[in-house]
Each structure stands twice: as C-alpha cells, then as structure tokens.
Amino acid sequence: MRVPTVLGAKQDAETPAANRSRDAASTRLLLLKAARRRFARHGYSTTTVRDIAADAGVNVALINRYFSSKEGLFEACLRQVGEDLGRPAGSTTTIEHTLEKMLTRVADQPSGDHTMQLLLLLRSSGDDRADQIRLSTLRSFTEGIATSAGWQAGSADDDKLLLRAQIAMATALGVVLLRSSTGLEPLASATAEDLRDPLGEVLATLVAPTGL
Amino acid sequence: MRVPTVLGAKQDAETPAANRSRDAASTRLLLLKAARRRFARHGYSTTTVRDIAADAGVNVALINRYFSSKEGLFEACLRQVGEDLGRPAGSTTTIEHTLEKMLTRVADQPSGDHTMQLLLLLRSSGDDRADQIRLSTLRSFTEGIATSAGWQAGSADDDKLLLRAQIAMATALGVVLLRSSTGLEPLASATAEDLRDPLGEVLATLVAPTGL
DNA sequence: GCTCTATGTAAACAAGTGCTGACTTAGGCA
DNA sequence: TGCCTAAGTCAGCACTTGTTTACATAGAGC
C-alpha cells in the first residue's frame, strides 16, 4: 500500500530509503539531511562518507556523483544553512523580533534542526572555500542583528555595536554547543522556558538600544 | 655554548628539540604542549599523531610509549586543563574576582595558552572516559562561578543560578571559539579592552548577585 | 516489446591512519 | 673501560579513508 515518493517528501532519518525509486532529487535531499546531522554533531573529519550514506540509506558512491566530493557535500550543507539563516536580515525587523527569533532557535531541542544548523556554523573542514561560506554567513547574520539594533555599516565607532552583536551570536552558539555536545546539567536539558529569562537578559544587555 | 636542557625548561614550539638529550620528562612535556595546540585548534580526529610528533620535534612512536595511545595523549591534555582551571573554585573568592579572571582568560590572544585550554574543553574524541573528564571539568568550573555568586549546591530553585553560570561559561567559550576558529571581524581581532565592557556586562547580568 | 539513459550498485585502489616490534644509541655506573 | 638500561629510531602492518571505475537495472519514449 506504499505510494510512490514524491519529490521533497519528508523522510525520517530513521527509515531512510523506505519507498524511493530512482529519484535523484530525493536522494540528494536524503544525503544533505543526513550529512548535516553528522557534520553538525561530530564535525567534518570525524564523520565518514560511509556513515552519511548509511544514515541516508543510499550507496556511498552517490555522494561523489551528486556532490563531487565529501568536501562538496559539506559546502552544500553550509550553503543551505546560509540560505535558511540569511533571510531575517534587514532593518525592517524590530530588534525584539530578531532577538525573539534567536531565542527560539537556541532553545530548540538539542537534536532539532535549528540546533544542527547553528552547530554547522562552528564546524570546519579546513577547506578555504567552505570556511569562506561559513564566514560570510556568520557575517551577514551578525550584521542583521546589529542592523535591527540600529547599526549602520561604516559609521565609525558603531563598530562597537557590531562587536556586541557578534558576542550575542557567540553566546547563542556557545549555549547550543554546550547543550548538545556535553551533557552539562542543568543546561543540557533546560527547557525553552528555563532559558528564556537569562538568555533574554543577556541579548538585551548586549544589543537592545535602550541598554546602551 | 648550549647548556643541557633542565627538566621542565621552556621550549618554544617553533624550535622544538633543539637542545634536549634523552630527557623523558621533557619530551613528555613537548608532546603535551604540541598536542594541546593541535587538538584545541583542529579537533581530535583532524590532528594526526605524526603532526603532533613533528610539532614537538619528536619521534612518533614516543606518543605510544608515554601515553599508550593518541586517545591517552588527548586525555592527558584534558586532565592538565582540568587541573589548571580547577583551582579557582571555592566560596572564598569574590564574584568580582571570578569574573575578572574569566575576562582575562577570554580576552587572551586567540593563539595564547589560555585560549587553547578553553578550546580543548569543546573538543571531543568520542571516547567515553575523555568525555567524562571534560564534563567534570566543565561542571566544577561552572559550579565555581555559581558558588562565588552565592550558589549553594542542593538548594532547590537555585538551580537557576547554576544554569546562569553555565550560560556565562557558554558565552566565554563561544567568544573564544568564534574568535579563534573563524575570522569574524571585529570580534577576531578585538583587544582585551574592546571586549571588557560588553563581556563584563553580560557576565554581570548573568551571575552578579545584585543583578538578580 | 525494445532501447537508451539516468540512477543505483559493487568492488577495488591509493593514500593515509594509529600502532607495534625489533633495532640502535646515549649516558650513568661499577 | 665496558656493560646495561632507558630513550629514541625505523620500517612496516593492519586497517580505514575518499574516490573511481566498470557494471546492473529501472523506467520513460518510441
């Protein structure tokens, strides 16, 4: 009674290639998803292409077919994250809205997709091009925060505000990393509610315009 | 005119085994130092034992002789960091003193020893025992922060204070990681002075008793 | 039904990995 | 001086890694 898989259908990582019949786009997505999890959780060099392929329920050689190399797959993951995170920049959003979005992302469950995205920004393959993508993603994201806090690129001493936005980003990333990769309690299993107050205070202290 | 190396003499990592003649303790230290840098900067699986040995100016096989395995060397690094960081716990220190110490550590130059120590706490080899050491180091360190802020283990809802101390730790680690492993400016080349104000505010917001 | 191409499979290769065992050598000591 | 042990060296093994190459096959178009 299995219907043929449609393109882009949700596939649980646990039951990978259950019903999938020679659909290139679909296997590409399976690989991307599995790779993002592995890379985010264990880093680039720790994860093997065989691991990723197994998670995706797909033959190893297809990684090279669809992404040229392990490196290419990593870059693709990074680009995807960049697209997902790059959106909310722009001065039209209020600082409250921006911080709220950061809060929900950080407070996501440690194995959730948002967590994986943020973690990936901390992983490096050593390759220059990948590092470039990561850097520009981080830059545009932190500039988005700063902008919504009143920052204008170029204005000399407002570099301080950009610096503060980057420290806010560092806090977010640090919390996510500590939550997911060490079992440090109570942080590791703190709920979104638990985190809201302290994290909110920190972010407000850093970049809320009244706080300056 | 070279004098024989005394035990524990400082050895620049750039000129490793210049004058050193069959001194086991000294080569052990050379290996530890080189390993800590490599592991902290590039992670466990990225660094090879041959890299470490080369940095230390020492034969590869000596790693296994002195530390049993690559894993053993990693654990030794972790233990060393635990000893160095474990000291300043205790309720005798004031919160100001504790935060001051954190500040100077985080604001250390991105290639400095303090930075390496903190970075190492974010690296994992996947081995359970190593992870245990890392976790207990993080735990004791964050408990030290919380304690100097008035926390008493066990008191029920003061878990909030411990959580705040752990978020403070996350901030510190996040800043260090972002500074050293991405070239994100202006954070990457911010001076200690640049960082003092914003970081100080964040830490105070989190764990300064008056801030509650 | 037949064919032809996109998709997937299987096996193997070259390079690099951690680690080991047999060897050499420096340097203290009788 | 001449051992003798600790310290260091060297070559290679067993294994994993990313990648490639040759092959199998599903499924659309005729």
Question: If one looks up domain B1-67 in CATH, what number appears?
Answer: 1.10.10.60
When pLDDT is cut at 50, 70 and 90, the band that residue B47 belongs to is: very high
Say what the pLDDT of residue A21 is.
73
Q: How many CB pairs under 8 A join A and B?
A: 133
Residue B49 has pLDDT above 50, yes or no: yes
What is the per-residue pLDDT for B20? 62
Phi/psi at A164 (5° precision)? -65, -40
Is the pLDDT score of A18 beyond 70? no
- Residue A132 forms contact with B (CB below 8 Å): no
Cβ of residue B61 lies below 7 Å from strand D: yes
B178 part of contact set with chain A, CB < 8 Å:
yes
pLDDT digits 0-9 by tens, B154-190: 776 678 999 999 999 999 999 999 999 999 999 999 9
Find the largest Cα–Cα distance for chain B: 65
pLDDT the model gives residue A91: 55
Residue A150 has pLDDT above 80, yes or no: yes
- The Cα A131–Cα B18 span in angstroms is 35
Q: Is the pLDDT of residue A157 over 80?
A: no
pLDDT band at B5 (very low <50, low <70, confident <90, very high): very low
Please, what CATH class does the domain formed by A24-67 belong to?
mainly alpha
Minimal-distance CA residue of chain A relative to B195? A163
B18 pLDDT more than 70 = no
Specify the CATH architecture of the domain B79-211: Orthogonal Bundle (1.10)
DSSP annotation of B58 reads S
Please write the tens of the pLDDT for every residue from B192-201.
999 999 999 9
Q: What is the mean pLDDT of residues B114-141?
A: 97
More confident residue, B88 or A199: A199
Mean pLDDT of A148-166: 85
Confidence of residue B1 (pLDDT cuts 50, 70, 90): very low
Strand C nucleotides with an atom less than 7 Å from a protein beta carbon: 6-11, 16-22, 26-27
Q: B164 in contact with A at a CB cutoff of 8 Å?
A: yes
pLDDT higher than threshold 90 for residue A1: no
- Measure, in angstroms, how far nucleotide C8 C1' is from residue A17 CA: 12
Per domain, the residue ranges of chain B are 1-67, 79-211
Q: Which of residues 69-128 of A touch B (CB under 8 A)?
A: 122, 124, 126
Average per-residue pLDDT for chain A: 87
- Contact state of B46 with A126 under an 8 Å Cβ cutoff: yes
pLDDT of residue B14: 37
CA distances from residue A124 to B23, B108, B118 in whole angstroms, order as listed: 37, 22, 18
Which positions of chain D lie under 7 Å from any protein Cβ? Answer: 6-11, 16-22, 26-27
Cβ–Cβ < 8 Å for A165, A149? yes
What is the average pLDDT value for chain B, to the nearest integer?
A: 87
* Residue B210 scores a pLDDT above 70: no
Determine if strand D comes within 7 Å of the CB of A35: no
The long-range contacts involving A71-77, CB below 8 angstroms and separated by at least 24 positions, are: A71/A125, A71/A127, A71/A130, A73/A31, A73/A32, A73/A35, A73/A49, A74/A35, A74/A39, A74/A44, A74/A125, A74/A127, A74/A130, A75/A127, A75/A129, A75/A130, A75/A133, A76/A32, A76/A35, A77/A32, A77/A35, A77/A36, A77/A39, A77/A120
Q: Pick the residue with more confidence: A115 or B6?
A: A115
Residue A75 above 50 pLDDT?
A: yes
Using one digit for the tens of pLDDT, what is the confidence trace for A26-56?
A: 999 999 999 999 999 999 999 999 999 999 9
Q: Is the pLDDT of residue A191 over 50?
A: yes
- Residue that wins the pLDDT comparison between B62 and B152: B62
How many Å from the CA of B74 to C1' of D7?
22
Give the pLDDT mean for B113-126.
97
Q: Is the pLDDT of residue B16 over 80?
A: no
